[in-house]
Amino acid sequence: MKSSNIFKGSAVCMYSMTDVRRVFLGPYAHRDGPNYQWVPYQGRVPYPRPGTCPSKTFGGFDSTKDLPDEVITFARSHPAMYNPVFPINNRPIMIKTDVDYQFTQIVVDRVDAEDGQYDVMFIGTDIGTVLKVVSIPKETWHELEEVLLEEMTVFRQQLYIGSATGVSQLPLHRCDVYGKACAECCLARDPYCAWDGSSCSRYFPTAKRRTRRQDIRNGDPLTHCSDLQHHDNPSGQTVEEKIIYGVENSSTFLECSPKSQRAIVYWQFQKQNDDHKEEIKVDDRMIRTEQGLLLRSLQRRDSGIYFCHAVEHGFMQTLLKVTLEVIDTDHLEELLHKEDDGDASKTKDATNSMTPSQKIWYRDFMQLINHPNLNTMDEFCEQVWKRDRKQRRQRPANAQVNTNKWKHLQENKKGRNRRTHEFERAPRSV
C-alpha cells in the first residue's frame, strides 16, 4: 500500500513471496565505476549471508550480536538489493486519486466463495473511514478488478476510552436524553443535537435551516419554539401526574429532577378546590434537594397539589404535578379495625389465639415510619424482639396450662378423625 503527495492519491499493490525471495537471494547493489553508479556486486559475499536470520543452521549464531565483523561491515556498505521487486502484473490492483483521504492501514481476508477464493481488503483512511474492497479476476486470474463494496465510518461520532483493562466506546451525542419537546432540546444547548420538528436528534448541517431548530449561543426556546407558546404547557410536553398517599406525622418524598443541569427548580402548592398557587418556602419541615422535595411530619393541611417547575433562561416548564393525600392516624386505625371486624366471622378461632401485639400489627408499622429515633429496620426489629421477650417473661403461669390443654384437644381431634377414616375405608381383599 502506497500513498503519495505527487499525484494526490493512494494505491494498493500485491506481491509474490517467490519474487521477494528471488530478489533477496540475488546480487547486492554496489556503487562502482567512474560515475559511481549502482551496479550488481560481483565480489565475494561473507558467510553467513547478510540478511539471513541468525540460527543454528547458518553458523550456529543465536543473535546478530554474534555475527563476525566482516558480515556487519558488508551489510553497512551494501544496504540494498540490486534487482527491484515488481508487483503482480506490474501494476497496482487498486488506485484512488482525486479524493480527500489517503490510505493508512490494510487488512486482507481470503474468503472461500461458491466459485473460488477472493481477497477482501479492509483499507483504513486518515479521515476515520474503512473501505471494503474485493478483488475480482476478469478474463484471466492475472487481470484483477477492484470493486468497492462499502465505505464504513468507524470513528466518527464515537469516543474511545482506553485503559489497561480494555477499551470502551461512547457516543459523542445522546440527543434522546434531553426529552421529547422542542424547548428541552433547545435548552440543552448541545451542538450535536437539534429539534427536527418531531424529536431531538443528531444535527447535520444542511441548507434547509428551517427544518432544524438549534440555539447554542443563547439557548432561547421562546424564539425557536414559538409555535408552542399557545399550549397550556409552553414546553409542549405532557405534564406527568402522580397521586401519593401519606400518613399523618410521617414523612414523604416528592421526586422531581430536571433533565438540564442548568435549570432552577422551584415548587408551588395549591389546596384542594382552590385555584390559588403559592410558592413553597423551605424550612425545617420542608427540605428541597436536587432529587425533589422532602416533607417531614406530615399534617392534614399538607394535602393538596404540588407543582414542580424548572426555569432556565426565562423559560418555565412544569415537570411534575403531584396530588398528596394525608391520612390521619385515627382514620387509619379505624379503617384497619373495620377490615379486621369484617374478617372476624371467618377467623374467630384464629383471632382468639392471637396475642395483643399481633392484633395491632399496624401500630408497629406506624411506629416504624414515625419514630424519630429508629433510623434503620434493624433497630426496629431489635426493639420488637425485646418487647416480645418481655411479654413472654410476664406471661401468667396458667398460660402454659391452657396451651397444653389446647394441644391435647387438638391431638384428640386428630385421633378421632383418623379413626373415623379407618371405619370408612373399604375392606381389603383376602
CA distance 374 to 390: 20
My answer on whether 13 and 143 are in the same domain is: yes
The answer to the question of residue 426 being in a domain is no
Which of 245, 283, 282 has the alpha carbon at shortest distance from 266?
A: 282
CA distance 338 to 232: 44
- Could you list the residue range(s) of the whole structural domain that residue 233 is in? 157-238
My answer on whether 110 and 131 are in the same domain is: yes
The most confident of the ranges 18-22, 57-61, 132-136, 422-426 is 18-22
**Last residue in a domain, options 238, 258, 288:** 238
Q: How many CA atoms lie within 13 A of 375 on its CB side?
A: 0
The answer to the question of residue 137 being in a domain is yes
CA distance 141 to 135: 10
My answer on whether 38 and 146 are in the same domain is: yes
CA distance 191 to 204: 10
pLDDT at residue number 100: 86
14-43 pLDDT, tens per residue?
899 999 999 999 999 998 878 888 899 999
The answer to the question of residue 215 being in a domain is yes
CA atoms 291, 294, 300, 306: torsion sign: negative
The answer to the question of residue 364 being in a domain is yes
Mean pLDDT of 130-149: 75
My answer on whether 84 and 219 are in the same domain is: no
Residue/partner pairs of 286-293 with CB below 8 Å, 24 or more apart: 290/257, 291/255, 291/256, 291/257, 292/253, 292/254, 292/255, 292/256, 292/257, 293/253, 293/254, 293/256, 293/267
The answer to the question of residue 60 being in a domain is yes
The structure's pTM equals: 0.42
My answer on whether 12 and 131 are in the same domain is: yes
CATH of the domain at 317: 2.60.40.10
pLDDT at residue number 25: 92
Q: What are the grid coordinates assigned to 297, written together?
A: 411530619
The answer to the question of residue 411 being in a domain is no
Identify the residue with better confidence: 419 or 174: 174
What's the angle, vertex CA 259, arms to CA 256 and CA 264, rounded to 5?
A: 70
The answer to the question of residue 246 being in a domain is yes
My answer on whether 26 and 99 are in the same domain is: yes
My answer on whether 146 and 168 are in the same domain is: no
**Last residue in a domain, options 193, 214, 238:** 238
3-state SS class at 135:
strand
**Last residue in a domain, options 133, 150, 167:** 150
Number of domains in the chain: 4
370-400 pLDDT, tens per residue?
444 444 445 656 666 676 677 666 655 555 5
- Evaluate whether 193 touches 173 at the Cβ level (below 8 Å): yes
The answer to the question of residue 408 being in a domain is no
My answer on whether 117 and 164 are in the same domain is: no
pLDDT at residue number 272: 82
CATH of the domain at 226: 3.30.1680.10
Residue/partner pairs of 386-391 with CB below 8 Å, 24 or more apart: 387/357, 388/357, 391/355, 391/357
The most confident of the ranges 148-152, 197-201, 358-362, 410-414 is 197-201
My answer on whether 25 and 136 are in the same domain is: yes
**What DSSP element (H or E) covers 426?**
none
* Predicted confidence (pLDDT) at residue 420 exceeds the cutoff of 50: no
Surface-to-core class of residue 221, CB atoms within 10 Å of its CB (0-12 exposed, 13-18 middle, 19+ buried): buried
My answer on whether 296 and 273 are in the same domain is: yes
